[in-house]
Amino acid sequence: MNILTAEHLQKAYTTERILLNDAAFSLQQGEKVGVIGINGMGKSTLLKLLAGAEEPDAGTVIMGRHVKLAYLKQTPILEDTDSVLEAAMKGLDVKDMVLESQAKSMLFELGFSELHETVKFLSGGQKKRIALTNTLLQPVDLLILDEPTNHLDNDMSQWLEDYLVRFKGAVVMVTHDRYFLDRIADRIVEVEHGGIYSYPGSYADYVALKMQKQSMEQASERKRKSILKKELSWLARGARARSTKQKAHIQRIEDLLAAEGPLEERTVELASVSSRMGKKTIELSGLCKSYGERTLIHDFSYIFLKGDRIGIVGPNGCGKSTLLKIILGQVQPEKGTVELGETIKIGYFSQDNSHMEESQKAIEYVREEAEYIDTGNGKISASMLMERFLFDGTMQWTPIGKLSGGERRRLYLLRVLMGAPNVLILDEPTNDLDIKTLTILEDYLDAFDGIVIVVSHDRYFLERVVTRIFAFEEQAHLQQYEGGYLDYVNARNAKNPLDSERKKESGKSRKSTQTAEIVNSKGKPRFGEKKLKFTYKEQREYDTIENEIQALEKKLEQLEQDMAEHATNSVKLSELMEEQNQAEALLEEKMDRWVYLNDLAERIAAQNEK
């Protein structure tokens, strides 16, 4: 049963920033939809329209009469005077002891122990988790969730997955967490170029279908260009628009010229840039750090190696960011030392980008770091690099305050990389970055000739990027695990079989298709591609078809001359016209066949170049 329908949606914030253009969306009862797309394309705006938090400029959003919804904003605002528990129960029956018990249980799962602490002094991430609790407690048929996994550690994300799998109502969510999408969503919706495009199935299914769609569009565009090339060649040979067929031929060429090819997807392009690194890197020795009676780090030592890809994991508040700040020199350890090599140049991408001045133009912010960087293949300007980061000429001169949250994060990342560091320290880099940007960042890190140290709750990103993990475990001890995130999970479960069994039970409803199983080490889908080649007959045909087309064109030219000479002989003229029709029909057939063979030849050549 359909519970929500949106038609002819129009939404724009400026004449240059049209987010939705005659877009449509519908939702069935119990359906779970993941919304994806490049930052700034309108994902959060779509959720606001569906939730009734904003009105469209045009179009309608119709909700079923008895459908109730709860909406989690990307950046929720709470009452500073409320306690944690009061904020979680806001708008609910505070006298309902069962509901209060559920609230306390959820808050515990999301890392809260002091439920009477005042909200005013909490971080943005903690406030988001309180708002998430309040949203999940609502007795509703539809949950609309904007980035629900932001600020959740790995165990919290697992808990939320399990909750949403069991939830009987419908879900519409924006998230960059690809494991999360693959387990929860039964439909993926992509917002791009003002439209809303739907792909049935999980995120893994979306990847496959998207590739097929792009391949078909590219094939159609190649065919259009091939036909146009042949038609223009025909026209250049002096074809005259005498017959109806020839007039139609010329109209066909004009239509091909007027047709628009498929919109090229704008993707972040990164060239790996780093400064030279000497023999000495970063050496940590006997680090200890406490706050009051709480010990976060106890006797941690490690010497970073060139090319290290280190992931740091653990529950929220365990000390992950503190360890990064100790390495950066922003926090001093009580014991131990941090030694940096003379050539070490650190680029730090923090969770917080509140330092960005909202009135400053985007390009001015980047130029503060550098005007140019050396890519190894020549210098590239800040403006050119911004283009590669999807900031076109207009957006480069846009004040930071007018950028979306995700666009600001992308701009901040660009500035960090503009400094050409040889050590990248990334603190929750996946927060607010869209999947396309994350994919290209992952490819960039593959080629990065330096050290990467990353704190992340994004399990896919960790599996994709890191080769060694340090996990905060009991008594402030950092345990080293070799491999990616899945290797870490398997090793941890082997050490704690009871915990492993509990997680296995909670995950029995997991979908059989898992993203990790359908991607290779580079994050690309594993699809068995059949090697393209000509058959013997096709090769023979390809070798001779150009000559056959030229012969038919010459024949048509001769027929035109003959028809002019026998214009007064109706019998002969009728015979010539019949012959002309047959020749034109055969030429059309040969040209269509030429397009197919030429397209196949181009694909075979491209395949052999790989």
Backbone angles phi, psi at 244, to 5 degrees: -60, -40
What does the mean pLDDT of the chain come to? Answer: 83
Q: How far, in Å, CA of 313 to CA of 483, rounded? A: 13
pLDDT at 128: 93
Q: Give residue 222's pLDDT.
A: 72
Residue 55 confidence (pLDDT): 94
Q: Which residues are CB-neighbours of 185 under 8 A, at least 6 positions away?
A: 32, 33, 34, 173, 202, 203
Q: Is the pLDDT of residue 376 over 80?
A: no
pLDDT at 288 over 90: yes
pLDDT level of residue 382 (50, 70, 90 thresholds): confident
pLDDT for the residue numbered 528? 46
Residue with tokens 């065919």: 223
More confidently predicted of 451 and 252:
451
Tell me, what's the pLDDT at 405?
80
- In percent, how much of the chain has pLDDT > 90? 41
User: Do 553 and 237 contact (CB within 8 A), yes or no?
Assistant: yes
Average pLDDT of the residues in 159-180: 93
Using the 8-state DSSP alphabet, how is residue 305 labeled? P
Among 65-79, 287-301, 507-521, which stretch is predicted with the lowest mean pLDDT? 507-521
**Whether residue 248 has pLDDT greater than 80:** no
Q: Per-residue pLDDT averaged across 521-525, rounded?
A: 41
Residue with more model confidence, 437 or 256: 437
Total residue length of the chain = 610
Confidence at 488, pLDDT banded by 50, 70, 90? very high
Rounded Cα–Cα distance for residues 72 and 134 (Å): 9
Mean pLDDT of 378-397: 83
Within 8 A by CB and 6+ apart from 109, the residues are 156, 159
Query: What does the pLDDT read at residue 522?
Result: 40
pLDDT band for 375, please (50, 70, 90 cuts). Answer: low
Residue 511 has pLDDT above 50, yes or no: no
pLDDT of residue 15: 63
pLDDT over 70 (residue 243): no
In contact, 82 and 118? CB cutoff 8 Å: yes
Q: Is the pLDDT of residue 61 over 70?
A: yes
Q: Identify the band that residue 520 occupies on the pLDDT scale cut at 50, 70 and 90.
A: very low
- Please tell me what DSSP assigns to residue 353: -
pLDDT of amino acid 517 = 38
Q: What is the DSSP letter of 278?
A: -
Q: What is the pLDDT of residue 133?
A: 96
Q: Check residue 242 and give its pLDDT.
A: 44
Which H/E stretch holds residue 471? strand 468-473
Given a cut of 70, whether residue 545 has pLDDT beyond it is yes
What token pair was written down for 106? 């959820």
Identify the DSSP state of 515: G
Higher-pLDDT residue of 92, 154: 92
pLDDT digits (tens, 9 = 90+) for 183-232: 999 999 999 889 999 999 888 888 888 777 766 766 766 766 776 676 66
Q: 548-569: per-residue pLDDT in tens? A: 888 887 888 888 888 778 767 7
At residue 81, the pLDDT reads 92
At residue 312, the pLDDT reads 95
Q: How confident is the model at residue 513 (pLDDT cuts 50, 70, 90)?
A: very low
Q: Which of 118-132, 509-523, 578-592 has the lowest mean pLDDT?
A: 509-523
pLDDT at 270: 53
- Six-digit token string for 200: 């049935």
